[in-house]
Structure 1
């Protein structure tokens, strides 16, 4: 199975990782109402939750881009490199979000989004 497909799997579960970070060690965490509890958090826990939410937003276009590039026989090496870059940039994005490094976080977001666009472009040409 190509590396790009493994990257889809990893990207699908990155939001879960950030949710776990937001919840880890939290006082009075209520698993009966986790969304309510997360919405009431502040600081780094709140930012980890926001990274989770953004991860769910970024995933569908990325997965579609990889599958499109694969279906249209784009170069496997390029597809793998772009998919891996996306995953690494999304991990960096989440870490920077939690650390409250907003400018660098935005650059990581832009890079990951650029990878998604590039996957569609290599499929088109």
Structure 2
């Protein structure tokens, strides 16, 4: 269960990691507009725009991962397999960020599918 909880924390804090390149791209514009950061982020192009999209997608991933893991924990269905699925999800999401930042769009989409596959695998495991 410890590994699953650590993975949950990693996914919940991943948007902060994804914010680092976004903040750097915002600073490259000359200043970080703390009064209107979303307006500034929406003006970004290239790496800045990809960093914003990667950051936003981290929040979206929480919506899939957290309820799934909470269901596994609530049903006391955590096993070595579910822990491995959680680890795989976290590693794939980190790879997803790298793919987004590097503009490797085909790899990014493939990694996204694999990460979502871990979510599906949790439910298959729960239903069997």
Range into which the TM-score falls when normalised by the shorter chain = over 0.9
SS in 1 for 2:22: helix
Q: 1:30 aligns with which of 20, 30, 33?
A: 33
1:11 is aligned to 11
Q: How do residues 45-64 of structure 1 correspond to structure 2 at under 5 angstroms?
A: 45-64=48-67
Q: CA deviation at 1:75?
A: 4.4
For residues 89-109 of structure 1, give each alpha carbon's deviation from its aligned partner in whole angstroms, at most 9, with x where no partner exists: 001001100100000000110
* Residue pairs, 1:86-101, within 5 angstroms: 86-101=89-104
Q: Which runs of 5+ in 2 are unaligned?
A: none
Q: Is 1:21 aligned to residue 21 of structure 2?
A: yes
Q: How does 1:51-90 map to 2 (within 5 A)?
A: 51-90=54-93
Moved over 4 A (4+): none
* Structure 1 residue runs without a partner (length 5+): none
Total equivalences in the alignment:
125
Match of 1:106 in 2: 109
CA contact (8 A) 1:96 1:104 kept: yes
Q: Would the aligned equivalents of 1:21 and 1:45 in 2 still touch at CA under 8 Å?
A: yes
Q: CA RMSD in A?
A: 1.3
Q: Deviations over 1:68-119 (max 9, x none)?
A: 1222233421111001100100010011001000000001100111111111
Structure 2-normalised TM-score? 0.90
**Contact residue 65 and residue 117 of structure 1 kept, 8 A:** no
TM-score, normalised relative to structure 1: 0.92
Query: Whole-Å Cα distance in 2 between the matches of residues 32 and 20 of structure 1?
Result: 18
